[in-house]
Chain A
Amino acid sequence: MNDLAFVLVALPLLGAVVPFVLGRRAPEMARVVTVAVLIAHVAVAVVVAALVATGGPLTYVVGGLPAAVGIGLLVDQLSAVFVVLVAGTGAVAYGLLREEATGPGDGLWLLLVAGLTGVCVTADVFNLYVFLEISGLAAYALVAGRRGTTRALAALQYLLVGTAGATLYLLGVGYLYVSTGTLAMADLRVALPEVGYASPLVVAAFGFVVVGLGVKLALFPVHTWKPDAYAAAPVDVAVVLATLGSTVAGYALVRLVYGVFTVEFLTAVPAARTALLATGAVGVLVGGYLTLRQARLRRMLSYSSILQFGMVVVGIATATSAAITGAVLLLVANAVAKGGLFAAAGLFERTLGTPSIDALAGRGREFPVVSLAVAVAFASLVGLPPSVGFAGKWYVTVAAVETAEWTVLAVVLASTLISLAYAGRVVEVLYLSPDGNSGAVAADGGAAAPTTRFRGDWRTTALVAGAAVATVVLGVASSGLAAWIAPVVEVWL
């Protein structure tokens, strides 16, 4: 049964080869294979989660080597959450949004899913680097799409920054290896205190690992690739990346900070904790300021992610079990809400012919379901109950009060107010502005915005509505989710 942990990664990885081979000659066949692999992947993910629920964590060592030199896989309660999220998003976004069947493109999609799954289940720090780069490579190529120079430039910038980040992470792994002689997370956890948490090697390793993953998370000030890449990418790619890309890197950060370096490291090296907290707090404030200044919906959503991941890092830095639970819930909340919002942004862009927020004036009645879902998703980003975003902020707030960390409390409050400002603006434009059709848009002297309804819009609507429902359902079930990951968090602390 433990072999399923291996199948989880191997299935999409090997499946990715088929669409590449079929290529452009048989794109329809490639599409059938891709859908089959994605559905099977979801099934395996659900079975694995059920196994974890009944029998505890699954471990597997690839090739049957000893874990010290082999590659270990581990699916515990925490990884199971993200594995299900990755598999589900990969399948749903493909089924509802993927536009044209192209063999190589479908291969890249499966490669992306394989890489992201790998990051979630690996128990080896070097293997984590490899999976980060597999998912990264697939993401760069998907952002570039099949044509278009704006996309190519955004993808190239994403590639240069992302690879530099991954290489810094690799340097951190090198320092860990030099100081301990092992790469398995479980062994590192034991070996690091023997080296001494305050040793320059270990502190440098922590710095490189956090900075490297920080690039993938798009924390301020290494966030610049994200708005460009997510605004230029095809809609289906933007949705899957906004949902999963940085979320999985955030999971990796939680896993490394608490599963490898442990909370004792943060106690022994207060500077590390302060740096995390400062990075997160500055990210919230600057990200929020930049979000408010955006005139285009997709760019605004990207900057909002920078704020949200700042919150996640603040949660990680607070270092109590409630704070870690809050950080994980915030990761899930941001993923679900951003997926739905990017899909809605794509629908608006296609229907109205412009990415600007002002063009949405008075369109609430035209897209009744999507607009309502957008409002719900934004409510989750702000942190209004009963959404899952509220639950995440609640846990971080409780942790801040417990530890008397008033800075954290202030940051949570600031993030809520800023989020309310930008979310309120979009919802207000949608519902309360006079219809922009006769006024602002035409006054630009631009082409009249096409308002033809496309076939297939119901699919996007279904996805956006599904994301909105998920934020509420997960919010109501948030205490269950917290209890589900509690075994992992308790062991860490």
Chain B
Amino acid sequence: MTAAVSLVESLLVARGAYVVYALLVGVGLFVLVDDDNLVRKVVGLNLFQTGVFLFFVTSAFRADGVAPLLSSGGPYVNPLPHVLILTAIVVGVSVTAVALALVVRLHAAHGTLSEAAIREAAAAELEVAER
């Protein structure tokens, strides 16, 4: 029992950021797959992406590292992952914008955010069209 506790403790102390990243990715994916509400699905996707971003930024860390400015002497934290994630955040924001625009269109047509209800309505429309 105490061994398990100390293992968890060491995980959280030494690898806390990785635990958070794994939780974010897991929770985000779960919400994306499991939730019926389209807006919450988009939020789940964002959580999932943010978890991955956190993993990248964490990888740049080094003990006693400082911000990579030429004016301050090293050792620096690695600037490259930060640059990558700035790009990835822009991509993520764009994807979210497109997703929400589509959700708005669906909500305007069906008056609901529930995926199941929209699918049902769409299937019913299709049947009418084919009859």
A contact set with B: CB distance below 8 Å:
69, 126, 129-130, 133, 136-137, 140-141, 144, 149-150, 152-153, 155-156, 159-160, 163-164, 167, 170-171, 174, 177-178, 183, 354, 444-446
Q: Are A177 and B38 in contact (CB under 8 A)?
A: no
Q: How far is the CA of A69 from the CA of B29 in the complex (A)?
A: 31
Taking a contact as CB atoms closer than 8 A, the residue among B52, B59, B94 that contacts A177 in the complex is B59
Q: How far is the CA of A332 from the CA of B106 in the complex (A)?
A: 36
Q: How far is the CA of A167 from the CA of B105 in the complex (A)?
A: 25
Residue of A nearest to B95 (CB): A163
Q: Which residues of B sit under 8 angstroms from A69, Cβ to Cβ?
A: 80
Q: Are B122 and A149 in contact (CB under 8 A)?
A: yes
Q: Which residues of B sit under 8 angstroms from A156, Cβ to Cβ?
A: 38, 99, 102-103, 106
The yes or no answer to B84 lying at the interface (CB within 8 A) is: yes
The yes or no answer to B15 lying at the interface (CB within 8 A) is: no
Q: Which residues of B sit under 8 angstroms from A171, Cβ to Cβ?
A: 25, 52, 55
Contacts A137-B94, A153-B119 aside, 14 further interface pairs with beta carbons under 8 A come to A130-B87, A133-B91, A133-B94, A137-B98, A144-B105, A150-B125, A156-B38, A160-B32, A164-B48, A167-B45, A174-B56, A177-B56, A177-B59, A446-B131
Taking a contact as CB atoms closer than 8 A, the residue among A152, A164, A178 that contacts B45 in the complex is A164
Q: Are A149 and B105 in contact (CB under 8 A)?
A: yes
Q: Are A164 and B118 in contact (CB under 8 A)?
A: no
Q: Are A167 and B109 in contact (CB under 8 A)?
A: no
Q: Are A153 and B84 in contact (CB under 8 A)?
A: no
Q: Which residues of A sit under 8 angstroms from B48, Cβ to Cβ?
A: 164, 167
Within the complex, the shortest CB–CB distance from A140 to chain B, in Å, comes to 6
B contact set with A: CB distance below 8 Å:
25, 29, 32, 38, 41-42, 45, 48-49, 52, 55-56, 59, 80-81, 84, 87-88, 91, 94-95, 98-99, 102-103, 105-106, 109-110, 118-119, 122, 125-126, 130-131
Q: Are B106 and A152 in contact (CB under 8 A)?
A: yes
Q: Which residues of B sit under 8 angstroms from A159, Cβ to Cβ?
A: 95, 98-99, 102
Q: Is the interface of A mostly helix, strand, loop or mixed?
A: helix
Q: Are B52 and A174 in contact (CB under 8 A)?
A: yes
Q: Which residues of A sit under 8 angstroms from B99, Cβ to Cβ?
A: 156, 159-160
A/B interface sample: 18 pairs, CB < 8 A: A140-B98, A149-B105, A150-B126, A153-B102, A153-B106, A153-B118, A153-B122, A155-B102, A156-B38, A163-B95, A164-B45, A171-B25, A171-B52, A174-B56, A174-B59, A177-B56, A178-B59, A444-B131
Within the complex, the shortest CB–CB distance from A154 to chain B, in Å, comes to 9
Q: Which residues of A sit under 8 angstroms from B81, Cβ to Cβ?
A: 177
Within the complex, the shortest CB–CB distance from B122 to chain A, in Å, comes to 5
Q: Which residues of B sit under 8 angstroms from A152, Cβ to Cβ?
A: 102, 105-106, 109
Residue of A nearest to B105 (CB): A152
Within the complex, the shortest CB–CB distance from A450 to chain B, in Å, comes to 14
Residue of A nearest to B48 (CB): A167
Q: Are A164 and B29 in contact (CB under 8 A)?
A: yes
Residue of B nearest to A356 (CB): B130
Q: Are B109 and A149 in contact (CB under 8 A)?
A: yes
Q: Which residues of A sit under 8 angstroms from B94, Cβ to Cβ?
A: 133, 137
Q: Which residues of A sit under 8 angstroms from B59, Cβ to Cβ?
A: 174, 177-178
Q: Are B95 and A170 in contact (CB under 8 A)?
A: no
Q: Are A164 and B32 in contact (CB under 8 A)?
A: yes
Q: Are A149 and B118 in contact (CB under 8 A)?
A: yes
Q: Which residues of B sit under 8 angstroms from A160, Cβ to Cβ?
A: 32, 41-42, 45, 99
Residue of B nearest to A143 (CB): B102
Q: How far is the CA of A171 from the CA of B118 in the complex (A)?
A: 32
Q: Which residues of B sit under 8 angstroms from A144, Cβ to Cβ?
A: 102, 105
Within the complex, the shortest CB–CB distance from B131 to chain A, in Å, comes to 6
Within the complex, the shortest CB–CB distance from A149 to chain B, in Å, comes to 4
Q: Which residues of B sit under 8 angstroms from A141, Cβ to Cβ?
A: 98
Q: How far is the CA of A178 from the CA of B58 in the complex (A)?
A: 10
Q: Which residues of B sit under 8 angstroms from A444, Cβ to Cβ?
A: 131
Given contacts A130-B87, A137-B94, contact A150 B122 (CB under 8 A): yes
Taking a contact as CB atoms closer than 8 A, the residue among A126, A136, A150, A167 that contacts B84 in the complex is A126
Q: Which residues of B sit under 8 angstroms from A133, Cβ to Cβ?
A: 91, 94-95
Q: Which residues of A sit under 8 angstroms from B42, Cβ to Cβ?
A: 160
Q: How far is the CA of A60 from the CA of B77 in the complex (A)?
A: 28
Within the complex, the shortest CB–CB distance from B86 to chain A, in Å, comes to 12
Q: How far is the CA of A137 from the CA of B96 in the complex (A)?
A: 10
